[in-house]
Structure 1
C-alpha cells in the first residue's frame, strides 16, 4: 500500500471520529437531535448536488426508485442519526463512538435473522467477544448496578442496529445506483424526513446556524462526514482494496476518544479502553471468514 492510502485512512478516521464530537457540540448549543439530522443531511445533500453539477453528472431523478430509497434513508440515516444525537445527551461522545464500532456485528446478526446468512465458529466467537466488551462498557458494579446512563447506552445500541438493517437494505436496494446517485437520493430523503420530524417535534430557530461553532460543526458533519469522507472511502477501495478501506472501523473510535479527551475533557475510564479492545477484537475475528448465504 502506498503512503497516500495510509494518509487517507488516517484522515478518514479523524473525520468520522470527529462526527461524535460535532454532535456533542451541537447538543451543547441546544440544537435538538431531529434538527441535527435535518441540517446534517441538508448540508451533505447540497455538497453532493454541487459536486455532481461540477462533474456534469445528470441527477436522473425520475429513474431513482424512490419508493425503495426512502425506507433506506429512514433506516440508515434518519433513525440512527437521531438516536445517536439523543444518546449523546446522556453519554460521552467517546463511549458513543465505541458502541458505534459494534455496527458490523449487528449487520451480521441482521443477516442471520432476516436474510438467511450462516455463521461459522469464528463469527460466533467474535460476536461473543464483542458482547463481553459491551458488558464491560456498562461498568457493572454492586452499588449502582451500571455506571452509565442506560437510556443513552440503549439508544446508541439501537442506532447501530439501525445501521445493521440499513446496510443490508442498501446492499439489496441501491446496487443499481452509482455511489453519487445513491448518496444524492438517500441524503435528500433524510433531509425531507428529518425536516418533517424537526417541524413536528422541535420547531427550532434555524438562525442558530449562524453561530460559528454550530456552523463549523455542521460543516464537519454534513460536508466532511457525509460528503468528503464518502469520496475518501471509495478512493481507498479503488486504489487499495475493500478490505483495506474497512479497516477504518478500527480507527474511528480511537480518534473519537482522542477528540473527546482533548476538546471536551471527557473522562476515559478503564472500562472504555477495555471495552474498545474487546469490541474491535471481536469485530476483527468475526470478519476473518466470509458469511455464507443460503441459496434462494
Structure 2
C-alpha cells in the first residue's frame, strides 16, 4: 500500500515540478547576476511571497528569540549555504552532473537521520527504494558521458546536497511540530536566509548587474516559484512525512526536467532515459510503501458457559456467561502470582 494521503502526493508532485526547473533558472540567471547576488535575490523574493501569504492567512512571524536562533541555523544549511554552493558549482558544471549530485540528498538525509536519531532504521523495501531511485537518476543523466564530474564545481554541489540533508534532519527535529504554522516557519526562515545572504555580498557580490532580460526573468522565477512556493511545500512535507521522505522528491527532479525538455524544447527521449525514469518512479514508490495494518477485531466476543451455585441444598443451576475480548486481553495480560 502506498503511504501518505492525497494531499501529500499532490505536494510531492507540485514540489518536483517547481523544483525540477531550479537548475535551468540558475544557469540562465548567472548571465545577469553573480552567484552571491542570485542567492540574495532568490531568498528575498521567496521571503516576500511567503510574507504576503502569511498576511492573507493571518499568520504572524515567530517572536521567540530561541526559535529565531533555530530558524537562522536552518536558514544557513537549507537556504543560504546550498543556494550559494549551487550557483558557484554551476559555473563549471553542467545541469546534468548537477542533477546527479543533487540526487544524493535523500541518501545523505537517511545517513544523517540515522546518526542523529531523527530517522528510524529503514525497512528493506524503503532502503531498496532509495538506492533504486539513485540508480535511475544515474541512468537518466549518464554522468560517465559528461565532463565536469570531478572538480571544485562538483564538490560545491555535493556539499549543497549534504547541506540540504543536514537542514532536513535539523528542521524535522527542532522546528516542525512545535505549534508554529508551517507557512510562518517558511517565511521566517527565508527572512533569516535573506539576512545571511546579504552578509555574503562582499564575497563577489558587489559586481555590476548585467541587464540581461532572460537572466533577470529567470531569477524572478527562481525566487518566486523555485524558492518561495517550493520551500513552503518542503516544510509542509517534512512536517507531515519526515525528512527522508521530503528528500526523496529530489529523485523526481530529473524526471520532471527531462519531460519538460521533451515537451517544451523538443528534446529527444532515448530508451536509456525512459528506462531511468521508470526506475526512479519505482524507487520513489518503494520509499512510500507502507504495510497494510490489519483491521481491528470486531467479533461479538467468546461465548462460554459457567456454573453458578444457587445456595440451595436441593440442586444447582447453570448460567451462561459471555467473556468479551477486552476482558480476555486484560485477564491474560496480567501475570499471576507466580508469573514474571
* Shift, 1:138, TM fit: 6.2
Check conservation: 2:71, 2:175, Cα contact below 8 A.
yes
Which residue is equivalent to 1:23?
Answer: 26
Which residue is equivalent to 1:106?
Answer: 108
Aligned with 1:198: secondary structure? coil
Which residue is equivalent to 1:159?
Answer: 160
Matching of residue 43 in structure 1 with residue 45 in structure 2:
yes
Pairing of 1:67-146 with structure 2 (within 5 A): 67-115=69-117, 117-130=120-133, 132=135, 139-140=143-144
Which residue is equivalent to 1:191?
Answer: 194
Higher relative contact order (CA 8 A, sep 6+): 1
CA distance, structure 2, for counterparts of residue 82 and residue 227 of structure 1: 16
Unpaired segments ≥5 residues, structure 2: 292-340
CA distance, structure 2, for counterparts of residue 4 and residue 124 of structure 1: 24
CA distance, structure 2, for counterparts of residue 2 and residue 289 of structure 1: 12
Per-residue CA distance 1:222-261 (angstroms, 9 max, x = gap): 11122234566789999xx859x96855543222234456
| Greater radius of gyration (CA) | 2
CA distance, structure 2, for counterparts of residue 266 and residue 31 of structure 1: 28
Q: TM-score, normalised by structure 2?
A: 0.66
Check conservation: 2:102, 2:250, Cα contact below 8 A.
no
Which residue is equivalent to 2:147?
Answer: 148
Number of positions where the alignment pairs a residue of Structure 1 with one of Structure 2: 279
Aligned with 1:200: secondary structure? coil
CA distance, structure 2, for counterparts of residue 72 and residue 234 of structure 1: 11
Aligned with 2:289: secondary structure? coil
1:75–1:7: structure 2 CA closer, same or farther, 3 Å change rule?
closer
1:253–1:73: structure 2 CA closer, same or farther, 3 Å change rule?
same
CA distance, structure 2, for counterparts of residue 181 and residue 113 of structure 1: 29
Coordinate RMSD, CA, aligned? 4.0
CA distance, structure 2, for counterparts of residue 272 and residue 265 of structure 1: 15
Check conservation: 2:29, 2:216, Cα contact below 8 A.
no
Match of 1:13 among 16, 40, 50: 16
Which residue is equivalent to 2:322?
Answer: none
1:172–1:20: structure 2 CA closer, same or farther, 3 Å change rule?
same
Aligned with 1:40: secondary structure? helix
Mean Cα deviation higher: 229-238 or 46-55: 229-238
Mean Cα deviation higher: 167-176 or 192-201: 192-201
Unpaired segments ≥5 residues, structure 1: 141-145, 291-296
